[in-house]
Every structure is written in structure tokens, then in C-alpha cells.
Amino acid sequence: MNPNSEPSRASEIWKRFAGMFGADALERKFGKTPPPEWSVMLSRLKDYEIDRGVRRLAYSGKPHVPSLPEFTRLCRMLADDSVDEGPQRVALPPPSAFAGDQWDSTSNLRLLKHITTALAAKSDALGVVPVMQYEFRDGKRIGLKSVPSGQQQRCTEILVAYKKAWAQDMREHVDLETGEIGRPPLVEQNRTWAAVMARAMEEIREFLG
């Protein structure tokens, strides 16, 4: 993002805060304009993360202007049971034993494709690949088995967490024209999925060192 656009971005957030908490309360705590620290942090957040933070802040019932760490946490956290994020669509349970909804199914398929692609490009992209071992029964070799390494298990946990976060964001997508929760366009699904997986892989690379 163009650094020159950051002041206007921070100013837009300031306007939304003023509408939620009052301009006087905002000015007493931070001043008329966003502090430099806010502008810097906002430049590091994605648009959908900031939208998520404002939405969660609105539904949280907090009576005061948030601090920078509080707002950043609302933007970036994957889940928080203490924050009521407003009404969500109620879906009828599917006829099969699968307890998830359409977004669970969609995110599962997307994650499977992501993992397959990542491993095809680099076999240890998601952790150390354990050596296959022969499995024996009654002294006879009956096949091969492989137990996921500790790294693979942790990397899987990271991917699943981000996958679930994406699915939840899709459920909560708000149509800017109507203000109603609805199915986001495919281009928006693809854009946010790419952003979420990029963050997941960045965290995995940091974990793997």
C-alpha cells in the first residue's frame, strides 16, 4: 500500500471512532489527530483486519475509546469468546453426519488444495517429513506407516486456525450497500483466502526457523 495513503486511512478510523464514542472523548484521550503510533500500526494491518476490528469493537459494548493494543487485538485475533460479534445467519444442519456449514466445507477444500500445492513445491514446507516405517503383524511385513512429525502437527494446527478464521469472516461478510450479512463475491473470497494463507505460511516459516 502506498505510504502516502496512510494518513487518510488513519483519519478514516478516527472518524469512525468519533461516531462510536464521541469526538470529545476521542480528543481527550488521543488528541484531534491520530498519533504516529496508530498510523504506523494501521499501515501494517490489512483492510479486512481493520474492518473486523471495527465490527468487533461495535458489538463488544465497550464504553471507552480503545487503546492501540486493544484495537490491534480485535483486528488480528482469530477468535475470542468474550466478544459478541453480533447476529449471524442460522444454517440448518446438513443431512449428512458432517456438522459444519458451507463455509466449513469450502474452507476444507481450499485448505486441501493449499497443502497439496505447498508440498508439491517443497516437500518439507510444512515441517520435517518422517521416514516411512514398515508395519509388521505376526512377524510378517504388511505395509508402510508414517506418523506426522511434531513440526507437521504444529503447522497443521496453524493452517486450521487460519482456515477457521477465514470461514468465520465469510459468514460475517457485510454487504456495504444493504448493510446485511450475505455471501461475498468469489473475487472477495479468493482475495481474503490468499491473504489469510499468506499470513499462515509466514507464521509457519517463523516457527520452522
Name the range with the highest mean pLDDT among 16-30, 92-106, 126-140, 141-155: 16-30
> Any idea where the domains of the chain sit in the sequence?
3-76, 102-208
Which pLDDT score, from 0 to 100, does residue 88 have? 43
More confident residue, 109 or 77: 109
Confidence of residue 81 (pLDDT cuts 50, 70, 90): very low
Mean pLDDT across the stretch 90-105? 60
With 60 as the cut, is the pLDDT of residue 85 above it? no
Q: What are phi and psi of 164, to 5 degrees?
A: -65, -35
Whole-number average pLDDT of the chain: 78
Q: Taking every pair of C-alpha atoms in the chain, what is the biggest distance, in angstroms? A: 80
CB 152 within 8 A of CB 204: no
> Do the beta carbons of residue 75 and residue 36 sit within 8 Å?
no
